């Protein structure tokens, strides 16, 4: 259901509340996904003339899952605060004192519902973290991440249902990777008119059992970041190829991470997209001795790499023109 359809069907008194949810409703780490509204229904009799819908399902992206919560208003009493049914999480009972926008519900504030939903998600996160206590191994993983301020505040946990047959318990961690995208220029954007959204890199790690013997990582890049990446190793994350442009000169950079990275330095291979060698291969140069230190964090490494590129690209371009054939 598109936001416009939902807004047309909702009761007029409730429309402002729903408007901020469907238009500005980006919650959680995965802000590329908006909140969605479906199953609009009414608590009025069928003789009541529309639009009079006052209850709906809200789809909330969380930790790689989609929560489906029922939100119930009353069109005849629009000033009353909404009520919630938390889908399959029947045992989730948030602490009312931690929901200030419910305690002081203000039907005249269009942002009230959105803020309340965010507070509920916070409570839901605490509830899921509590459920991790069923597995000491997963709890250990969680506590380790919590100690690191880079991850502790940017984490969503979803503890799955315990399988009543096998007793297996699974969980998913969604982490926002602390990457500074401000210095990375936007080299290629398919449609500059479209808002690509916030630049974000998310790592989703699924533990299929309580002892963490089966682990499945997955990397999510926001569309604007993904545009510049040609390909990358999605399993071991040891290889990355970028398509870059410098003064109208396009080239590929292959980054190979060795087995003992960061102890060992990654290999950078620059490759022209225009020039061929005599043997018919694309003209390329491998660089292994550029400024590098294993003690640098990820952002520092990227910053230094960017500085190196700036100094190296001009001579690479000259070499490509001199030694390569178009």
Chain positions contacting other proteins, by CB under 8 A: 41-46, 48, 55, 70, 72, 74-77, 80-81, 83-86, 90-91, 93-94, 96-97, 99, 102-103, 105
Nearest to other proteins of 90, 326 (CB atom): 90
CA atoms of 6 and 163, how far apart (whole Å): 37
In terms of Cβ atoms closer than 10 Å to its own Cβ (0-12, 13-18, 19+), residue 225 is middle
Q: Which residues are CB-neighbours of 82 under 8 A, at least 6 positions away?
A: 71, 72, 73, 113, 116
Residue 170 Cβ, how far from other proteins at the closest point, in Å? 24
Residue 131 Cβ, how far from other proteins at the closest point, in Å? 15
Q: Which residues are CB-neighbours of 71 under 8 A, at least 6 positions away?
A: 55, 56, 57, 58, 82, 83, 84, 113
Residue 60 Cβ, how far from other proteins at the closest point, in Å? 15
Residue closest to 53 by CA, chosen among 36, 74, 32: 74
Contact call for residues 235 and 222 (beta carbons, < 8 A): no
CA atoms of 197 and 175, how far apart (whole Å): 18
Expressed in percent and rounded to 5, the helix, strand and coil fractions of the chain are: 30, 25, 45
Nearest to other proteins of 55, 254 (CB atom): 55
Nearest to other proteins of 44, 145 (CB atom): 44
Q: Which residues are CB-neighbours of 18 under 8 A, at least 6 positions away?
A: 6, 7, 10, 37, 56, 113
Helix, strand or coil, per DSSP, at residue 54: coil
Nearest to other proteins of 117, 200 (CB atom): 117
Nearest to other proteins of 82, 266 (CB atom): 82
Residue 84 Cβ, how far from other proteins at the closest point, in Å? 5
CA atoms of 71 and 158, how far apart (whole Å): 21
Nearest to other proteins of 107, 200 (CB atom): 107
Residue 8 Cβ, how far from other proteins at the closest point, in Å? 18
Nearest to other proteins of 15, 26 (CB atom): 15
Residue 59 Cβ, how far from other proteins at the closest point, in Å? 15
CA atoms of 295 and 195, how far apart (whole Å): 36
Residue 307 Cβ, how far from other proteins at the closest point, in Å? 54
Mode of pairing for the β-strands spanning 249-256 and 267-276: antiparallel
């Amino acid at each position: 259901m598109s936001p416009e359809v939902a807004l047309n069907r909702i009761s007029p008194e409730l429309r402002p509340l729903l408007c901020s949810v469907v238009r500005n409703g980006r919650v959680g780490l995965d802000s590329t996904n908006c909140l969605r509204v479906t199953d609009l229904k009414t608590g009025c009799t069928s003789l009541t003339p529309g639009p009079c819908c006052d209850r709906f399902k809200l789809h909330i992206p969380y930790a790689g899952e989609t929560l489906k919560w029922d939100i119930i208003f009353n069109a005849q009493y629009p000033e009353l605060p909404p009520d919630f049914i938390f889908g399959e999480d029947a045992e989730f009972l948030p602490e009312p004192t931690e929901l200030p926008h419910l305690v002081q519900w203000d039907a005249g504030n269009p942002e009230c519902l959105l803020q309340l939903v965010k507070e509920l998600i916070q409570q839901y996160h605490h509830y899921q973290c509590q459920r991790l206590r069923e597995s000491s191994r997963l709890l250990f993983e969680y506590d380790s991440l919590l100690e690191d301020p880079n991850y502790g505040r940017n984490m969503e946990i979803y503890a799955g249902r315990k399988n009543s047959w096998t007793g297996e318990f699974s969980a998913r961690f969604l982490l926002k990777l602390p990457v500074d995208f401000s210095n990375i220029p936007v080299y290629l954007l398919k449609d500059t008119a479209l808002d690509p959204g916030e630049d974000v890199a998310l790592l989703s790690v699924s533990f299929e059992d309580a002892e963490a013997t089966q682990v499945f990582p997955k990397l999510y890049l926001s569309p604007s970041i993904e545009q510049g990446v040609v390909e990358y190793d999605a399993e071991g994350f040891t290889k990355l190829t970028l398509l870059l442009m410098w003064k109208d000169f396009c080239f590929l950079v292959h980054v190979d991470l060795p087995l003992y990275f960061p102890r060992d330095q990654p290999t950078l291979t620059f490759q022209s997209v225009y020039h061929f060698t005599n043997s018919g291969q694309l003209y390329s140069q491998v660089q292994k001795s550029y400024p590098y230190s294993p003690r640098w964090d990820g952002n520092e490494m990227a910053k230094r790499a960017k500085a190196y590129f700036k100094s190296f690209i001009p001579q690479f371009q000259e070499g490509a023109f001199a030694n390569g054939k178009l």
